[in-house]
Amino acid sequence: MSPNGDASSGRPLCHCGVPAYLWNSWTSANFGRKWYGCVNYKKPGDCGLFEWADHEMCIYEKSLMERLKDKEEGMRVEIARLEKLMETESTKYKANMESQFSQFQLQLDLYQTKEKAYQSREKLYQAALVFIILLLLFYVCGYNNNSSCEMC
């Protein structure tokens, strides 16, 4: 630990007088290494503190970290591809469901129209039957001046 550090946290003190922040390096040369820097790094008030918190990695560690970084990037690309595929498939599914709903609605409308036509036809048949019965009664009772007609 550096002589100007914070004994309770094990972190060195910034030139600002506060405990430094532990950062991770994302550069190709030092990928995965930890370093101490100002809490205001890349912000106004950055005092410029930089101190490695770990040892330099050996070639094996660097290659391992690079492979992990590549795998992570591959996973990010795959996630993005799957999200796009999911969005596309969701859009297709929604369009298909809307199409099926429209077809169902048309079939329902056709059924309801046929049902109304059937009911109208049924009423027409009933009216025609009543008319025929009235004609028969009129014929039997009206033209037959026979006073012996029991129905009249």
- What does the pLDDT look like over 132-145, one tens digit per residue? 999 988 888 876 65
Q: What percent of the chain has pLDDT over 90?
A: 48
Contact assessment for residue 38 and residue 14, using Cβ atoms and an 8 Å cutoff: yes
pTM for the model: 0.44
Highest mean pLDDT among 31-35, 64-68, 126-130: 126-130
Residue 116 φ/ψ, nearest 5 degrees: -65, -40
Q: How distant is the alpha carbon of residue 14 from its chain centre?
A: 46
Query: 12 CB contacts (<8 Å, ≥6 apart)?
Result: 1, 2, 4, 5, 6, 19, 20, 36, 49, 51
Scan for tokens 């009216």, then name that residue.
Answer: 127
Average pLDDT over residues 41-52: 88
Tell me how crowded residue 115 is: count the other CB atoms within 10 A of its CB: 10
Average pLDDT over residues 65-74: 90
Average pLDDT over residues 115-132: 95
| DSSP 8-state symbol, 35 | E
Q: What is the pLDDT of residue 3?
A: 37
The helix/strand/coil state of 39 is: coil
Instruction: Tell which residue, 71, 94, 95, 75, has the closest CA to residue 83.
Output: 75
The answer on pLDDT for 105 being more than 50 is yes
pLDDT band at 100 (very low <50, low <70, confident <90, very high): very high
Q: In the sheet that 50-52 helps form, which strands lie side by side, from edge to edge?
A: 21-24, 34-37, 50-52
Q: What is the pLDDT of residue 89?
A: 96
Scan for tokens 């994302």, then name that residue.
Answer: 26
Average pLDDT over residues 53-71: 85
Q: What is the pLDDT of residue 149?
A: 57
